[in-house]
Structure 1
Amino acid sequence: MSTDQPAAVNPGSGPRRPTSRFLLSHPAHLFSLGFGTGLSSFAPGTVGTFFGWASYLVLNLYLTVTGWGVLIAASIVGGIWMCGYTARKLGTQDPSAVVWDEIVAFWIVLLLITPASFVGQLVAFVLFRFFDAVKPPPVRYFDRTVKGGLGIMLDDLVAAFCTLLVIALWRSI
């Protein structure tokens, strides 16, 4: 039996919605589901990005730029495996509940626009959510062509790049 889709946890049942029990069943799920923010029934990607923003503000009190670099690099590498693992267990390619990709990508945006006022960070948030949710080219290309954990992480990293490009153009005017 050869298919492009990963096998569901319960064959024949199709993709499933994660629960708090699922969240706590494996450390990879805890991270992939954004420490529970991905369980939101309303706009989990937006809720996960808000968590990314809040956690950035707290972590930024303690981390240097080098510390951020190490954390982000580890979060991307670990995220590829964790997000792919969680997606396979949920029986779908890129479950909306998996928000680790939004969290890490938005950390990158915030780190690279610093210093930025609250309004500047809010603009970055709105732009990032636009690129992540609407998926205009080139985000759509990576979302559709790269699969598994790498694909889950990569389309959000491209959305972060697009966000940073718009902000850089805006700042240069």
Structure 2
Amino acid sequence: MTDHESATPQPIPHSVWSNPWHFLAFGFGSGTLPKAPGTWGSLVALPFIPLWQMLPDWGYWLMLGLTMLFGFWLCGKVADDLRVHDHEGIVWDEMVGMWITLWLVPEGWQWLLVGFVVFRVMDILKPWPIRWIDRHVHGGVGIMLDDVLAGVFAWLAMQLIVWGLA
């Protein structure tokens, strides 16, 4: 369970279904699902990977940069709108973390599965400095940055796995 996935679920704002920014931040509604919304958001990110993998490597990298920068704004805006530091249902950050994890990874459902598990482990364990950032950096940057770093750590692990199997 990540720090923003508390034992007591936060109420789901009705605005998720009427405000397009809230709908995006809540992972197309996946962040409203009960128990472990970050896991649901990570799953929702997976169908996008084959599309991103059709891009040239630099195009995928550019998409990562744009979705990350957009996420800094989006997550900050929605958190401000809801007057909550980091609502557990905001899962855009997990989606971007998954996309980072699977950049330059071979195509195939097996790689998606391995990447999903590796990212979730990194996001849940939050190795240093991820945990520190999660607790001390606030706003949209803080919401995004811990998952971006978890994605980078998971990406490094995935690259080691790919190279080890090559």
TM-score by length of 2: 0.82
Unmatched tracts of structure 2, length 5 or more = 1-8
Is the Cα–Cα contact under 8 Å of residues 83 and 152 in structure 1 kept in the other structure? Answer: yes
- 1:78 aligned partner: 70
Residues 123-138 of structure 1 aligned to structure 2 (within 5 Å): 123-138=114-129
Q: Deviations over 1:42-75 (max 9, x none)?
A: 2111111011011222x23753334323322221
Bigger radius of gyration among the two: 1
How far, CA to CA, are the matches of 1:24 and 1:70 in structure 2? Answer: 29
| Percent of pairs with identical residues | 37
Q: Please, what TM-score do these two structures have when normalized by structure 1?
A: 0.79
Q: Write the letter of the residue equivalent to 1:90.
A: L
Indicate the RMSD between aligned Cα atoms, in angstroms: 2.1
The count of corresponding residues between Structure 1 and Structure 2 is 156
> Which aligned pairs between 1:24-173 and structure 2 lie closer than 5 A?
24-57=17-50, 59-60=51-52, 63-113=55-105, 115-173=106-164
Residue 170 of structure 1 deviates from its aligned partner by 3.6
SS of 2:88 mapped into structure 1: coil
Unaligned runs of 5+ in 1: 1-14
Shift of 1:26: 2.6
Partner of 2:12: 18
